[in-house]
Amino acid sequence: MNEQTEERLTVAFERIADSLERLATLSENRYQHEFPTRKVPQDVTLTRVPTEEDRIREDQGASDEPLEEWIGIREKAVIEQGKKQQSPR
């Protein structure tokens, strides 16, 4: 092998290395586009479409809150007094 052949081989190998590097970059970009990194999953929020019955209840003032949240001090006193009167002595 003479010096000129070695020089041509060196140039050819450098071009091959350059092409392989570009090909690897393109492949990596394509892979990132097709399979993006996953995000941290968020909490699940379950929802449903309200039915006609749900809308009617809401219009009439119904809610899913427990009754204890709606009863005040006076109402509790009346309920306790009613229980005392109903209980046999």
Chain segment 26-64, per-residue pLDDT in tens: 999 999 999 988 888 888 887 888 889 888 888 887 777
pTM: 0.41
Between residues 87 and 33, which one has the greater pLDDT? Answer: 33
**Is-contact 71 79, C-beta < 8 A?**
yes
CA distances from 19 to 10, 23, 29 (A): 14, 6, 15
The DSSP letter of residue 61 is T
By CB neighbour count within 10 A (0-12 exposed, 13-18 middle, 19+ buried), where does 57 fall?
middle
